[in-house]
Every structure is written in structure tokens, then in C-alpha cells.
Amino acid sequence: MKTITIRRPDDWHLHLRDGAVLEGVIGDTSRHFARAIIMPNLVPPVVTTADAQAYRQRIMAALPQGHRFEPLMTLYLTETTSADDVEEGKRSGLISAVKLYPAGATTNSHGGVRDLDKVMPVLERMAAIGLPLCVHGEVTTPEVDIFDREAVFIETVLDPLRRRLPDLKVTMEHVTTKDGIDYIKAADRNLAGTITTHHLIINRNAILVGGIRPHYYCLPVAKREHHRLALRAAATSGDGRFFLGTDSAPHVDELKECGCGCAGIYTSLNTMSCLAHVFEQENALDRLEAFASLNGPSWYGLAPNEETITLSRQQEPVQFPARRDTAAGPVTVFDPMFPLHWTVLDK
């Protein structure tokens, strides 16, 4: 039996939702992951330190018995966010990052930022106190093709912002293009990127070939094959600027399987198996730990986890449930479209 033991991983970009969905999904993350950066795009969003404190309590209350898990809270940046509140959140140890959603970019982002000038005082404060900005890197201009929105964001928003505020630490989240990978590699400091599990596995054909498949639709949308290959090369390279952010984003099936389905893919349940498969295919199992367990903590100034997990490769495919049932309805689990053989062993 082939096994690999790595430090316990963390998820540097996760949607846990609230209420019944939170209760239904959180165990899938806390079973394997020690910490996660928690996205603030609830309805209404997590805007203030007080909102984040209350949300953190709801997360901890939903945690299955016996699981240990540290939610790393973020604030949803708006044009009225107070720099003092952000600083207070960081000083108290509650807030790990602030999230920039361009208005209208994705699920629940209508309250996002329209005019970057309006948030400059907050960004300047963040640069001064060393608090990272997590960015959803897509423009929302209707004229820009959805497949080009990341590349145009880098050129017209991210690069000018980084030139204006070189001391601001920026995490470019869920990078989906070679353009994004190249841009991160070219930066000399203060820029890193998270990569999702599913973008290492699917390209845009998964969504559109042979019928429209809503469970492969997410934002940023999966791109062409050469972009997927660039993501795989970066993730498996060991380069400290790239690390795992699953962007696991549960929506109940009825909100995805309809005339205007929500964006989001639910991967928490089988992410580690999928990643082991990908890294094995790339002959890079020895770099899985860097991607999932070491590079992220280093970027966020935290120690890696002391605990370990062991994955083993079994002959027979591992059977994962097709859906995670929640009291709000079933949530379809990401199907990588190949059999998975790696499993995380129970302690």
C-alpha cells in the first residue's frame, strides 16, 4: 500500500455559508483541514469586525463534536468600510484578511466595490499594518468577455493598484489563467495566489460539452486547457507563492439546476483525494505538502500545523457520496470524472 504523510492542510479560500448549509458542510472541511480563510459573502455580508465575531461563533457552534478547527475570518470590503474597524479586527487577532469583490463579480457581490478610490484609505491602512487583501480578480464590465475577465482585471485594476500601494500584500484568489500565474511569478514581493482543486482538474469543456453541466460552473469560470496546464505546473512546482484555496462553494441543487444557476462547486468532501491524484499524475506527490500545508501559512505569517494526515492509495476506487445532504437540501459533490484511489486515513 502506497501512503504519504503530510502536515495537516489548511484551506486558504472557503465558503461555509450559514444556518443549515453551514451545519451540513462544515464537517467535510474540519475532518481534514485545521484552518480555513472564511469568505464573507453571506447575505447580508460580513462587513464589520462585530459581524465577523458573530459569524465565527456560529461556525464554532456548528463544528462536529471532537473536531478541532480554526476559522480565519475575513471582512467584506465595501465603500463605507472603516479603516479603524479593520485595524481593530486585526489587532484583536480575529481578522486575517479583507476581501475585495468588484461589485457584481460573483455570488452575493452586489455590495462590492465600484470605485477603488473610495476604499484607498482602508487599503493604505492595511498596507501599514500588514493585513492582506484577498481579491476576486475579475472585472465586471459588461463589454468584457467572461473568459477574459481575469486577464483584464490584472491589467486594468490589480497592476495599477499594486503600483500605487506596493506595500499592500495581495492574495490573488482562485487564479484560473496562465496570465494570472505569469503575473504572480513576475512579482518580486507582496503577491501570492490561491488555486482551487477543481481548476486543476476541469477546463471549460466540462461545463459545455455534451450538454450544460451546472455542477461544473463556478466563478471565475474554468478556462481553456492551456490555462489548466499552467495552473497544474504552478501548483505542483513547490513555488511558495502558490497554495491551496479550494473555493468550495456549496449551493443546494435546486439553486444550481435551474434556468439561471448559481456559480460554485462543492469540493470540501473529496479535495484531498483529488489533489493527491493530481500531484501523483504530475510526479509531484513530494510537493503536495508545500501546496496544501506549508506555503499558505508562510504567506499569512502563521506556523504550519504540527499534526499530520496520512493519505493512502487503494486498489479499488474510493466511493464518495454524490451529494452532501443538508437540512436546506442536497449539495452535489464535485465529480472529477475519473476514479479516485487516494483516501485520507482515519486517525
Q: Which residues are catalytic?
A: 247
Please report how close the Cβ of residue 150 comes to ligand NCD at its closest, in angstroms: 12
Pairing, β 308-313 against β 342-344: antiparallel
Read off the DSSP letter of residue 289.
Answer: H
As measured in angstroms, the least distance from the Cβ of 42 to ligand NCD is 9
Considering only residues 163-202, where is the footprint of ligand NCD by CB under 6 A? none
Cell numbers at 187, concatenated: 512579482
41 touches, from ligand NCD, Zn ion, none (C-beta below 5 to 8 Å by class): ligand NCD
Paired residues of 313 in beta bridges = 2, 342
Q: Which CB atom, from 247 or from 289, has the smaller least distance to Zn ion? A: 247
Grid cell digits, residue 306 = 504540527
Residues touching ligand NCD, count (CB under 6 A): 11
Smallest separation (angstroms) from ligand NCD to the CB of 220: 7
Cα–Cα distances in angstroms (integers) from residue 144 to residues 38, 137, 149, 156, 199, in the given order:
29, 13, 6, 12, 21
The interface region with Zn ion, picked from 3-11, 190-198, 228-236, 239-247 by CB under 5 A, is 239-247
The single residue among 17, 247, 284, 293 that binds Zn ion, judged by CB under 5 A, is 247
Q: Give the one entry of ligand NCD, Zn ion, none that residue 202 binds, where binding means its C-beta sits below a cut-off of 5 to 8 angstroms depending on kind.
A: none
- Give the strand order in the sheet containing 308-313: 2-7, 308-313, 342-344
Taking phi first (over 0 means left), then psi (-120 to 50 degrees means alpha), and beta for anything else, what does residue 169 get? beta
Minimum CB separation of residue 29 from ligand NCD in Å reads 15
Find the shortest distance in angstroms from Cβ 135 to ligand NCD: 11
* E strands, 162-225, in order: 170-172, 191-195
Site string for ligand NCD, 67-106 (x = CB under 6 A): ---------------------------------------x
Residues 204-223 touching ligand NCD, rule: CB under 6 A, are 218-219
Among 107, 197, 270, 293, binds ligand NCD (CB under 6 A): 107
Contact 104, 110 (CB under 8 A): yes
Q: Is 150 in the site for Zn ion (CB under 5 A)?
A: no
The Cα 241–Cα 226 span in angstroms is 20
30 binds, among ligand NCD, Zn ion, none (CB under 5 to 8 A by kind): none
In terms of CB distance, is 69 or 217 closer to ligand NCD? 217
Q: Which does 177 bind (CB under 5 to 8 A by kind): ligand NCD, Zn ion, none?
A: none
Residue written as grid cell 453541466: 213
CB of 214 to ligand NCD, least distance (A): 11
Draw the binding track, 243-272, toward ligand NCD (x: CB under 6 A; -: no contact).
Answer: ----x-x-------------xx--------
DSSP-based three-state secondary structure for 102: strand
In the chain the beta strands, taken as DSSP E runs, fall at: 2-7, 11-14, 35-38, 70-76, 95-100, 133-135, 170-172, 191-195, 242-244, 308-313, 323-326, 329-332, 342-344
SS3 content of the chain, % helix, strand, coil (to 5): 35, 20, 45
Q: Which does 150 bind (CB under 5 to 8 A by kind): Zn ion, ligand NCD, none?
A: none
Site of interaction with ligand NCD (CB under 6 A): 15, 41, 106-107, 136, 218-219, 247, 249, 263-264
Site of interaction with Zn ion (CB under 5 A): 247
